[in-house]
């Protein structure tokens, strides 16, 4: 569809294009500079100091937290391998692998659930009248003005054994004994979905809001079914929003710390908890640093692939 549009307009555009070519090239160069302030702040306030962590991952752990300035690869060794504390044999760090797997698995589930709930919600908001849209948006964010811990405790209130859901179900005679939801992986997944839901809804909204419904109408005129319209027209057009939302939910979920601890009951570690343990009671900063650089590399690699795949096509659309 995009191609035909392009070819027809190419001829007309060409002459115009030549005329403004020079000025545009200039403008583009100026536009690039617009990223600079953000990059400077990020370099000082986030990414730059991270180099400290990179250095730390190659140093020796100090006895009581912190590092000794002696080069060592113990940190990186500990990420992948473990020396059995009893017989000294070296094997793959299965504990770390299973924690990594749990984190990835639960984060994917949360992202999917957030997408399933968030997409219709964002769509619903974007199709309200112009005056009411912002109101709906505020309604999405207002629950998140209350503190994360408090919200997590509130979720606990709802799903605990003597909580609202179970009391309700038992009260109506639907079940006899409470369904155990709190302190399970399900609770972690639910909690992360809840906590990160606005991160899905808002970017989706920003994308859907500019959706050109004439295209949708045209599709219906050609006897497309609703499902087909959703799949072939709407979703491809709002893909940037889906990409942004999924990143914003998936990546923080991977490093989540509070939710797994409070709702998961702390019986199973997630990556965020494992890293925190090394910087805290474990007193092994190099291992913590190495684990987090490893996580950073994995996420960044996955992200670049994801963005490249997800954007294939969209950039040529317009």
Comparing CB distances to another protein, the nearer of 141 and 175 is 141
Q: How many residues does the chain have?
A: 318
CB of 275 to another protein, least distance (A): 5
CB of 290 to another protein, least distance (A): 11
Strand-pairing partners, residue 67, are: 61
| Residue 138 binds another protein, judged by CB under 8 A | yes
What does DSSP assign to residue 176? S
The residue within the footprint of another protein, chosen from 206, 232, 306, 310 (CB under 8 A), is 206
The residue within the footprint of another protein, chosen from 175, 300, 305, 309 (CB under 8 A), is 300
The residue within the footprint of another protein, chosen from 5, 210, 235, 312 (CB under 8 A), is 210
Half-sphere exposure of 102 (CA within 13 A, CB side): 22
In the range 265-284, which residues lie near another protein by CB under 8 A? 265-269, 271-284
The residue within the footprint of another protein, chosen from 81, 95, 175, 309 (CB under 8 A), is 95
Q: For residue 91, give the H/E element and its range.
A: strand 90-92
Selected range binding another protein among 104-112, 169-177, 213-221, rule: CB under 8 A:
213-221
What is the per-residue DSSP string for 254-288? Answer: HT--HHHHHHSTTSS--HHHHHHHHHTTT--HHHH
Map tokens 């601890």 to a residue.
Answer: 261
Size of the site for another protein (CB under 8 A): 142
Q: Residues 103, 276: contact at Cβ < 8 Å?
A: no
Quickly count: other Cβ atoms within 10 Å of residue 244's Cβ.
19
Joined together, the tokens standing for residue 143 give 């629950």
Phi, psi (rounded to 5 degrees) for 175: -135, 160
CB of 217 to another protein, least distance (A): 5
CB of 244 to another protein, least distance (A): 4
The residue within the footprint of another protein, chosen from 189, 199, 233, 259 (CB under 8 A), is 199
Q: Residues 256, 295: contact at Cβ < 8 Å?
A: no
The residue within the footprint of another protein, chosen from 76, 241, 259, 286 (CB under 8 A), is 241
Sign of the torsion formed by the C-alpha atoms of 119, 312, 305 and 102: positive
In the range 27-66, which residues lie near another protein by CB under 8 A? 27-28, 31-39, 41-50, 52-53, 61, 63-66
The residue within the footprint of another protein, chosen from 6, 21, 120, 175 (CB under 8 A), is 120
CB of 219 to another protein, least distance (A): 9
Strand-pairing partners, residue 83, are: 90
| Residue 178 binds another protein, judged by CB under 8 A | no
Rounded to whole angstroms, the Cα distance separating 182 from 117 reads 21
Comparing CB distances to another protein, the nearer of 174 and 227 is 227
Strand 67-71 and strand 81-83: the pairing is: unpaired
In the range 139-168, which residues lie near another protein by CB under 8 A? 139-151, 153-155, 157-158, 160-162, 164
| Residue 309 binds another protein, judged by CB under 8 A | no
The residue within the footprint of another protein, chosen from 1, 217, 235, 309 (CB under 8 A), is 217
Joined together, the tokens standing for residue 204 give 């989706």
């Amino acid at each position: 569809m995009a191609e035909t549009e392009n070819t027809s307009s190419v001829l007309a555009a060409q002459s115009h294009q030549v005329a403004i070519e020079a000025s545009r090239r200039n403008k583009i160069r100026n536009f690039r500079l617009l990223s600079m302030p953000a990059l400077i702040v990020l370099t000082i306030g986030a990414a730059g100091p991270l180099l400290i962590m990179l250095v730390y991952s190659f140093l020796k752990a100090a006895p009581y937290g912190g590092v000794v300035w002696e080069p060592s690869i113990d940190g990186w060794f500990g990420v992948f391998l473990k020396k059995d504390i009893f017989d000294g044999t070296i094997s793959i760090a299965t504990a770390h692998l299973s924690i990594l797997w749990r984190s990835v698995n639960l984060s994917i589930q949360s992202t999917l659930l957030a997408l399933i709930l968030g997409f219709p919600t964002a769509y619903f908001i974007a199709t309200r009248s112009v005056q009411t849209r912002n109101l709906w948006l505020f309604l999405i964010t207002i629950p998140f003005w209350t503190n994360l811990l408090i919200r997590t405790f509130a979720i606990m209130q709802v799903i605990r054994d003597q909580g609202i859901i179970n009391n309700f179900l038992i009260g109506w005679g639907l079940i006899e004994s409470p369904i155990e939801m709190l302190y399970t992986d399900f609770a972690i997944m639910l909690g992360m979905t809840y906590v990160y839901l606005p991160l899905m809804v808002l970017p989706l909204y920003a994308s859907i809001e500019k959706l050109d419904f004439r295209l949708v109408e045209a599709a219906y005129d050609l006897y497309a079914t609703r499902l087909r319209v959703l799949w072939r027209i709407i979703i491809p057009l709002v893909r940037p929003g889906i990409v942004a939302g999924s990143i914003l939910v998936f990546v923080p979920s991977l490093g989540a710390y509070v939710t797994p601890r409070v709702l998961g009951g702390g019986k199973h570690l997630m990556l965020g908890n494992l890293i925190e343990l090394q910087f805290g009671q474990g007193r092994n900063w190099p291992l913590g640093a190495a684990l987090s650089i490893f996580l950073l590399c994995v996420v960044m690699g996955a992200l670049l692939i994801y963005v490249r795949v997800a954007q294939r096509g969209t950039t040529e659309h317009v």
